[in-house]
Amino acid sequence: MTEPQRGAPRPGDSVHRVARIRKFHLKRVLGVPALFSAGYGDVGSSIYYALGIVAIVALGATPIALGIAGIIYVFNALTYAEGGAAIPEAGGSSSFARHGINDATGFVAGWSLMLSYIVTMAISAYTIPPYLAHFWPVLADPKIDTLVAMGIIGLLMTINVLGVRESSRLNIVFIFIDISTQITLVVLGIILILAVHPHVLIEHMFGAGNWPATSSLVYGIAIAALCFTGVETVSQLAEETKRPAQRIPRAYIIMIVAVLVLFAGISIVALGSMTPQVLGDPVNGWARDPVAGIAANLPNTTLQHIFAPLVAILAASILLTATNAGLLGISRLAFNLSSHKQLPNVFGKVHKRFKTPYFAIIFFCSLSILLLAPGFANPRFFEELGALYVFGSLLTFALAHAAIILLRIRKPELPRPFRIPGSIKIAGRELPIVSLLGLFSTLSIWVVVIILQPFSRWAGIIWMALGLTLYFLYKGFKQRREEEERLGVYKHKE
């Protein structure tokens, strides 16, 4: 009779078999075009409202504010390119911070990003009715368009709970048409407006009453951070990307070129075709639909009739896609935080029938709808909504830069298929200059927003306080639960 192996169960022993944990992986099906279309779907959508919000504050200096914001966008995109290639998992800045700093900082990055997603959904939906007012003028009424925006989010919430999937190929087609239309508008604006009357742009930028005060210019640069949307979107799709180490950086580089060229062109043509006061008027001007303002001010009736409805349809389509992208991003992020025990399990709970994270979808959509409520009466609501997005996004980006810097220090051996060009050697570690500049600039602008914008300051602080309270209460509960289970095992053994 053979002696049983050491550690093997003997006859009469009660055996407890641990259930095998099955880890589900998303299919890696996305390439560079799909990544670019997803990322640019957010960035490209922001031009349809960011231009107007910046003009409210920066007036004639709007192109300069957007240009400086574009430089910071480059810092962010390159940092995310290195992080996404080195850590190809969903979560974006939250994953970077968790690996590079600690679990609590990872949660802070994720929770602040959730605020950005909630506001992205609200502001994208809120901008759809003014563009569709070209076909239905009743949508220009503030009360009606706010109600319609709430209805749009409610509809997308229902669709996403039921599990209707979006088509990445359809997104690519929409983005291609959108970019083609924007390029055409820029070319027509340069030929028909700027080339014919070059002095108009100078007058609208530097003329009496058009140049902002220094504080307004600085605040305008801060608000221009609205153009940073889309950076997180690509990194959130890392687990669904084929060869992410190569394709994520390529998608970011293409986005950088597209964003800088189109934002510069659109902002310059917009100021060439109308005064900054008209561009930045949220009630009687074009603040909420600035690209429609360009089409309406083309110096040719035939071109106006062609581009006005085209811009209205494209803007509504892209903004609807961006609203849905925000919803998809926040549901993915909530699932990621829940799977890493940073949020209660209910946020990652999947519906038995529809296989969707229904609680997270309903919860965050409800918050986004609630956030739109001031739109019924507050004339400054549009600007405040943009500032609240900036509060969450800039904090997220600052933590992403800090995480990439600390990963260079703490984990120099980590494979980095893409490394940000340009480093400075400190204490034997090569630190990326771009991430250092990105950390300084995003933190500086974040402080400016906190100082100058009371609504975003208090709403953002309350949001972060609620999140941290939830995080530490949940962590404490989990630790007590694990301790009780451990003590229960010991008692059972005794």
User: Could you tell me if residue 91 is left (phi over 0), alpha (psi between -120 and 50 degrees) or otherwise beta?
Assistant: left
The DSSP-derived string for 433-487 is HHHHHHHHHHHHHHHHHHHH-HHHHHHHHHHHHHHHHHHHHHHHHHHHHHHHHHH
Most confident by average pLDDT, 23-32, 238-247, 464-473: 464-473
Identify the residue whose tokens are 């390159």.
78
pLDDT at 171: 64
C-alpha span between 249 and 379 (Å, rounded):
41
More confident residue, 271 or 341: 271
More confident residue, 254 or 400: 400
Summarize pLDDT for 131-163 with one digit per residue, the tens.
999 999 998 887 898 999 999 999 989 988 886
- CB of 141 within 8 A of CB of 284? no
282: DSSP letter: T
C-alpha span between 315 and 291 (Å, rounded):
8
- CB of 59 within 8 A of CB of 216? yes
pLDDT at 367: 93
Here the tokens at position 424 are: 């400075």
Q: What is the pLDDT averaged over residues 212-232? A: 82
Res. 233 pLDDT band, cuts 50 70 90: confident
426: DSSP letter: E
Residue ranges of the domains in the chain? 32-424+432-479
- CB of 404 within 8 A of CB of 435? yes
Flag whether pLDDT at 288 surpasses 70.
yes
More confident residue, 431 or 478: 431
pLDDT at 489: 57
| Candidate from 88-97, 104-113, 394-403, 459-468 with smallest mean pLDDT | 88-97
Flag whether pLDDT at 15 surpasses 70.
no
pLDDT more than 70, % of the chain:
89
Flag whether pLDDT at 314 surpasses 60.
yes
Closest to 76 in 3D by CA, of 434, 440, 423, 430: 434
The CATH number of 32-424+432-479, from 1.10.240.10, 1.20.1740.10, 2.60.40.10, 3.40.50.10890, is 1.20.1740.10
C-alpha span between 172 and 466 (Å, rounded):
38
pLDDT at 490: 52
C-alpha span between 398 and 266 (Å, rounded):
28
More confident residue, 314 or 30: 314
Mean pLDDT taken over the chain: 83
pLDDT at 397: 92
C-alpha span between 231 and 175 (Å, rounded):
16
pLDDT at 275: 92
Flag whether pLDDT at 165 surpasses 70.
no
Q: Tell me the sheet residues that pair with 429.
A: 426
Q: What is the pLDDT averaged over residues 297-307? A: 88
356: DSSP letter: S
Most confident by average pLDDT, 50-54, 147-151, 413-417, 487-491: 147-151
Q: What is the pLDDT averaged over residues 92-109? A: 91
Res. 434 pLDDT band, cuts 50 70 90: very high
Q: What is the pLDDT averaged over residues 271-288? A: 88
**Type of residue found at 198:** P
Q: Is the pTM of this model over 0.85?
A: no
C-alpha span between 377 and 396 (Å, rounded):
30
- What's phi and psi for 425, nearest 5 deg? -90, 120
Q: What is the pLDDT averaged over residues 420-436? A: 90
Number of continuous H segments (helices) and E segments (strands) in the chain: 17, 2
pLDDT at 168: 54
Res. 223 pLDDT band, cuts 50 70 90: confident
Which residues contact residue 133 at a Cβ distance below 8 angstroms, ignoring those fewer than 6 apart? 139, 140, 145, 289
Here the tokens at position 395 are: 């904090």
More confident residue, 10 or 154: 154
| Candidate from 26-30, 63-67, 177-181 with smallest mean pLDDT | 26-30
Flag whether pLDDT at 203 surpasses 60.
yes
The DSSP-derived string for 243-255 is SHHHHHHHHHHHH
